[in-house]
Chain A
Amino acid sequence: MSIRDHFSTVWLRFTRHIDGPLMAITLLLLAVGAVVLFSAVLPDTGRFVQQMKSIGVALVVMWIVANIPPHRLAQIALPLYLVGVLLLVAVAFFGVTVNNSQRWLAIGGFRFQPSELLKLAVPLLLAWYFQKVEARINFGNFLIAMLLIALPAWLIKRQPDLGTALLVAASGFYVLYLARLSWKTIFLMVATAVPLIWLLAHDYQKQRVLAFLNPAADPLRSGYHTLQSQIAIGSGGLTGKGWMQGTQAHLDFLPERHTDFIFAVYSEEFGLVGNIVLLMLYTALLLRALMIASHASSLFGRLLAGAITLMLFTYVTVNMGMVSGILPVVGVPLPFISYGGTAMLSLFICIGILMSIQTHRKLVST
């Protein structure tokens, strides 16, 4: 065996569980993200370096996850869920309070938000559960599934963090939906959920929704963020103001410009053309993920990949909808673009799981 052959064998083994198309799309999204983030963090380029480090770590984790076969992932579903719920309980007792909400656990100087973990643990557990019951949705299974979703969602809601609670609930619900919950039940659930959410919402959250419905009525208070981000997007025009040239972004009119509102920075500087490119990349990502879900060899794989796809879609839609002013303000980052290590890590775990489901299928079928 020549050295070259040897090298190519190592390379093949190394990339055996990496899905080429998904990797390519993800890297393109990361490239777009790096470009816009550099502009958005200015003048603090240290944050840019920090984000690059986070991406590096996340890529390694993705590789590790991609190499774990789906049945092993199914095995850790229940323990992961239980640990997650326990951590949530711990948060309720020993959590660190920031801005009047108790969301963090401090472990050795490192702050950790267990609710992030549940975004992944809940769909994992439900996919495992419905694999176990062979997707038979009878009354008992339905009730159990609802309980499994409601428990962490309730714990997160009382932190209070209604946004994350809703996202966790949604991730579980997506599995139920893909397990072919009847349309009537879905309709009934949605019909009860909407008034329930309004009831649970805090005043400031209701305010945000009201501000969203009429942002111009109160331009300096609750509606300020979306109004400024819409000005940023709108003033970007067809081709944008150019990289690092956004006045809304660089003169501090945009709030949270490197995190939740980074889409406004991107839109302002790259215009409609940039937005079409970005939406095309996300569409490609989602289509590839749907394909993986569609071809998955196990029910667990199908449900999990489908739920992950829907979660990615949810993040993109909620964020863009919020920044462009057609959805109320909810703190959801834009996948692969927004600054933040934890979010980047969970995203790449998701990508890793998708890759694992895709690549281990081939091995099984051959």
Chain B
Amino acid sequence: MRRHRFRRWLSLHRRHEIRDPIRELFLFRKRLWLTGLAMLLIFGVLLGRVFYLQVIAHQQYQTQAENNRIAIVPVGPSRGTISDRNGTTLAQSFSAYTLELTPSRIDRLETTLAQLGKLIEITPRDLRRFRRAMDESRNFDSLPLRTKLSDEEVARFAVYKYRFPGVDIRARLYRQYPLGETASHVLGHIGRINDRDIEQLTRSGSLLNYKGTDHIGKTGVELSYEETLHGIVGFDEVEVDALGRAVRSLTRVPPIPGDHLQLTIDLRLQQLAEQALGESKGAVVAMDPNNGEILAMASTPGYDPNLFVEGIDVANWDRLNTSPDKPLLNRALRGAYPPGSTVKPFLALGALVSGKRTPEQAISDPGYFDLPTGAGRAHRFRDQKTDGHGRVDMHKSIVVSCDTYYYVLASETDIDDTARFMSQFGFGQKTGIDLEGEAIGVLPSRAWKRERFSGSRYREEHRRWYLGDSVSAGIGQGYSNATPLQLAYATATLANDGVSYRPHLVKRIIDGTTGQTKEVLPEETRRLDLKPAHLAAIKKAMVDVNREGTAARIFKDAPYTSAGKTGTAQVFSLRGERYIEEQVKHHLRDHAWFIAYAPAEKPVIAVAIIVENGGFGARAAGPIARALFDYYLTGAQTATIPKPDGDSEGWEE
């Protein structure tokens, strides 16, 4: 019964009904046309939907379609070139094809890499570099796998391109340093933009300008003139398909190329300096005292900046970064060494200016200076010449580089007065050269010492200034520290009678578009009030250093007059014992200094040279100055740099 009721409820109970065909047909048609009406209603809904999409929401979808279709592709400007003062190219940009992968669009990266390897030669080094780049970037970036593809490789890949979604060939701008290691520290290098650069660019508000750029200056001129060299980004408005491939270009705002730099560096002089330094560690700075132009700035060992452009591989990085020779260090700019005897002419000038000494005033040098330490005891400061120089006046003190003379002078002069005078020659401060990361060295004074030992692990006795500190500083030792650049600047200031110019590396800026040149004008930094008589006394002594003094042999038969001063920076304190070069390990040997300018009458070049562990200044550093002067003043190339004899006899200071 229950089932029957269910059937009746479902109207499935008409088995025995007598059927009326007319009524049946009427009921069928009723249902049929009711259905027709429902269909029309539903079509109405469809029409309403389409009306909504195409009329009411049209604007929104129009925008979305345009956003789909149009991509703004930034176009990086071409980076300006860098040349030496005579126009020889030192850094240039060129365009070449790269094979690039977008990891986010590649399903199986390893398989793709393996298959690409069969088509185009990919070295393990390329792979390592690629993986490193992948770690450093977000994975929707396009990353270079192989650079500088040949035309043949491009053609070969083009045939099989369809097999490699997410792999593209692109024309990219490259940086090349055609001379390799030459002037590497001056030029510096560019490298791929990393997160820190992005942070920096964001802060300076120039991130947008780097949208199409992969590289940025990391060191050297490439870094300090980044803004000038880079240029202004352009934009391509392109139509893209669903895979992001550009179909055609719509509008184009071309990039404005970066400006070219012409350096003050004289490439020949630079190469000469690097060759002269040879295998030694050291630095040479040569500048024009009349305007501050840096003519050569060498630091050895150097490195090949080309290695850094596309991201340096691990092996090369480790080699450069962990080498005890520190090839990445720009010694000319950042190497601070005790200036040694090279400070003597400046200290002597200070004594003349302050009236502490007259040129004629002389001491008797027994070969040492005893500084009383109280209770009848004394600390003995030794001269290089153990039996003393005898009677020594100011002229002789410079020519033979008598230490005792300066021990006495220092013991009678307040260190703060000395510091005040020396700071006028740029010691203890930045020269203001157009390179980043300049070291300031140390110009010792009471204030400096107090500051230096202000840490809580030091006590008052560490912070106090002792007369012994003054005596050490009196021969450029002790706390004294200066960079080759600072010494070159000080020498140039002296050579130019107290008028100094800011050292700079860029001579002119050439507009990347119009080719118009803008000269970098010399910028006077100081004009010291010095008496001609005082200057003449010091300069005469320095001329005689090269004529009859410690550097006489080096400048024998030079067709010009030059002035110089040798110096030796102690690496290792022998605690009063005699320094015998052959008995000291090479890396503990003294550093050789030489400062010089020429021609003495009207200087056009001033140099500061250091050769690490070179021993006596005259022997290792002096010949380099001779070679530079010969070339720069006479155009002659010294066939062989005069090498003094092995023994120190006649070369001592």
A52-60, A80-88, A161-169, A228-236 - the one binding chain B: A228-236
A18 to B241, CA, bound (A): 46
Which residues of chain A are near B55, meaning CB under 8 Å? 237-238, 272
Binary contact readout B49-78 vs A (1 if CB under 8 angstroms, 0 otherwise): 111011101101110111011000000000
A308 to B222, CA, bound (A): 77
**Contact of B32 with A306 in the complex, beta carbons under 8 Å:** yes
**Chain A 261-283 interface residues, beta-carbon cutoff 8 Å to B:** 267, 271-272, 275-276, 279, 282-283
A232 to B66, CA, bound (A): 11
A36-44, A97-105, A194-202, A248-256 - the one binding chain B: A248-256
**Contact of B46 with A178 in the complex, beta carbons under 8 Å:** no
**Contact of B29 with A271 in the complex, beta carbons under 8 Å:** no
Which residue on A lies nearest to B47, using beta carbons? A279
Which residues of chain B are near A178, meaning CB under 8 Å? 28, 31-32, 35
Question: Given A138-B12, A231-B64, A234-B61: A290 and B32 within 8 A (CB)?
Answer: yes
Checking B7, B17, B27, B39 against A313 with a beta-carbon cut-off of 8 angstroms, the contacting residue is: B39
Q: Does B14 contact A (CB under 8 A)?
A: yes
A263 to B185, CA, bound (A): 65
Question: Given A252-B243, A272-B51, A290-B33: A231 and B11 within 8 A (CB)?
Answer: no
Question: Given A137-B12, A139-B7, A294-B33: A248 and B54 within 8 A (CB)?
Answer: no
Checking A138, A267, A325 against B54 with a beta-carbon cut-off of 8 angstroms, the contacting residue is: A267
Checking A142, A177, A233 against B53 with a beta-carbon cut-off of 8 angstroms, the contacting residue is: A233
**Contact of A234 with B58 in the complex, beta carbons under 8 Å:** yes
Question: Given A180-B28, A188-B10, A231-B65: A237 and B40 within 8 A (CB)?
Answer: no
Q: Does B239 contact A (CB under 8 A)?
A: yes
**Contact of B241 with A251 in the complex, beta carbons under 8 Å:** yes
**Chain B 1-51 interface residues, beta-carbon cutoff 8 Å to A:** 7, 9-15, 17, 19, 24, 27-29, 31-33, 35-36, 39-40, 42-43, 45-47, 49-51
Which residues of chain B are near A234, meaning CB under 8 Å? 53-54, 57-58, 60-62, 64-65
Which residues of chain A are near B242, meaning CB under 8 Å? 251-253
Shortest C-beta distance, A22 to chain B (Å), equals 16
Which residues of chain B are near A184, meaning CB under 8 Å? 9-11
> Number of contacting residues on B, CB 8 A?
48
A69-77, A316-324, A336-344 - the one binding chain B: A316-324
**Contact of B53 with A324 in the complex, beta carbons under 8 Å:** yes
**Contact of B241 with A252 in the complex, beta carbons under 8 Å:** yes
Shortest C-beta distance, B13 to chain A (Å), equals 7
Shortest C-beta distance, B59 to chain A (Å), equals 9
Q: Does B636 contact A (CB under 8 A)?
A: no
Q: Does A286 contact B (CB under 8 A)?
A: yes
Which residues of chain A are near B207, meaning CB under 8 Å? none
**Contact of B12 with A324 in the complex, beta carbons under 8 Å:** no
A286 to B64, CA, bound (A): 35
Which residue on B lies nearest to A246, using beta carbons? B65
Q: Does A148 contact B (CB under 8 A)?
A: no
A267 to B47, CA, bound (A): 12
Q: Does B240 contact A (CB under 8 A)?
A: yes
Shortest C-beta distance, A168 to chain B (Å), equals 20
A251 to B238, CA, bound (A): 12
A272 to B11, CA, bound (A): 45
> Number of contacting residues on A, CB 8 A?
52
Which residues of chain B are near A231, meaning CB under 8 Å? 61, 64-65, 68
**Contact of B69 with A294 in the complex, beta carbons under 8 Å:** no
Checking A138, A232, A287 against B13 with a beta-carbon cut-off of 8 angstroms, the contacting residue is: A138
Which residues of chain B are near A271, meaning CB under 8 Å? 54
**Contact of A233 with B50 in the complex, beta carbons under 8 Å:** yes
Q: Does B119 contact A (CB under 8 A)?
A: no
Which residues of chain A are near B17, meaning CB under 8 Å? 136
A216 to B323, CA, bound (A): 57
Q: Does B521 contact A (CB under 8 A)?
A: no
Which residues of chain A are near B69, meaning CB under 8 Å? 247-248, 251
Q: Does A310 contact B (CB under 8 A)?
A: yes
Q: Does A365 contact B (CB under 8 A)?
A: no
**Contact of B28 with A230 in the complex, beta carbons under 8 Å:** no
Question: Given A137-B12, A138-B13, A293-B32: A276 and B62 within 8 A (CB)?
Answer: no
Which residues of chain B are near A325, meaning CB under 8 Å? 49, 53
Shortest C-beta distance, A244 to chain B (Å), equals 14
Which residues of chain A are near B28, meaning CB under 8 Å? 178, 180, 302
A236 to B65, CA, bound (A): 10
Q: Does B247 contact A (CB under 8 A)?
A: yes
Shortest C-beta distance, B46 to chain A (Å), equals 5
Question: Given A182-B11, A272-B51, A290-B33: A283 and B40 within 8 A (CB)?
Answer: yes
A237 to B50, CA, bound (A): 9
Q: Does A185 contact B (CB under 8 A)?
A: yes
Shortest C-beta distance, A182 to chain B (Å), equals 4
Q: Does A213 contact B (CB under 8 A)?
A: no
Question: Given A138-B12, A139-B7: A248 and B68 within 8 A (CB)?
Answer: yes
Which residues of chain B are near A136, meaning CB under 8 Å? 14-15, 17, 19
Which of B31, B54, B239 counts the most A-chain CB atoms under 10 A from its CB? Answer: B54
Shortest C-beta distance, A241 to chain B (Å), equals 9
Which residue on A lies nearest to B67, using beta carbons? A231
Shortest C-beta distance, A222 to chain B (Å), equals 17
**Contact of A235 with B43 in the complex, beta carbons under 8 Å:** no
**Contact of B68 with A185 in the complex, beta carbons under 8 Å:** no
Q: Does A326 contact B (CB under 8 A)?
A: yes
**Contact of B43 with A138 in the complex, beta carbons under 8 Å:** no
Instruction: Please give 12 more A-B residue pairs, beta carbons under 8 A apart, in addition to A235-B61, A235-B64, A286-B36.
Output: A136-B19, A137-B12, A139-B10, A177-B31, A180-B27, A185-B10, A237-B62, A253-B241, A275-B47, A306-B35, A317-B46, A321-B46
Return 6 A-B CB contacts under 8 Å, by A number: A142-B12, A231-B64, A237-B58, A248-B69, A279-B46, A326-B45
Chain B interface residues toward A at CB < 8 A: 7, 9-15, 17, 19, 24, 27-29, 31-33, 35-36, 39-40, 42-43, 45-47, 49-51, 53-55, 57-58, 60-62, 64-66, 68-69, 239-243, 247
Closest 7 CB pairs of A and B: A234-B61, A182-B11, A235-B65, A252-B242, A251-B241, A234-B53, A272-B54
